Amino acid sequence: MAAPLILAALAVTPIVLAGRGGVDLSVGPLLGFINVTLVKWLVENDYASPIMVIAYVVAAGVLYQIVIAAIIIYVRVAPIIVTLSGYLFLSGINLVVLDRPSGVAPDWMLDWGSGISILSPVFYGLIIMIGFWIFFSRTVFYQQIVLTGANERMAFANGVNIAGARFGAHIVAGVFTAAAALAYTALIGSGDPTQGNTYTLSAITALVLGGTSLAGGTGGGLGSILGAINIYLITYVLSTYNFGTVSGFVTQLSTGAILVLSLLVNSLMNRRQ
Q: Give the residues across from 56 on adjacent strands.
A: none
Cα–Cα distance for residue pair 95/101, rounded to 1 Å: 10
DSSP codes joined into one string, 72-99? IIII---HHHHHHHHHHHHHHHHHHH-S
Cα–Cα distance for residue pair 49/106, rounded to 1 Å: 8
For 180-203, give the secondary structure using H, E and C: HHHHHHHHHCCECCCHHHHHHHHH
CB 228 within 8 A of CB 2: yes
- Give the per-residue pLDDT at 270: 62
DSSP 3-state helix, strand, coil percentages of the chain (rounded to 5)? 75, 0, 25
Specify the pTM: 0.91
- Give the per-residue pLDDT at 62: 97
- Give the per-residue pLDDT at 265: 72
Q: Provide the total of helices (H) and of strands (E) in the chain, helices listed first.
A: 11, 0
Neighbour tally for 209: CB within 10 Å: 26
Could you report how far apart the first and last alpha carbons of the chain are, in Å? 36
Top CATH class, 2-272:
mainly alpha
Spans of the chain, pLDDT less than 70: 1, 114-117, 242-248, 266-267, 269-273
pLDDT in tens, 47-96: 989 999 999 999 999 999 999 999 999 999 999 999 999 999 999 999 99
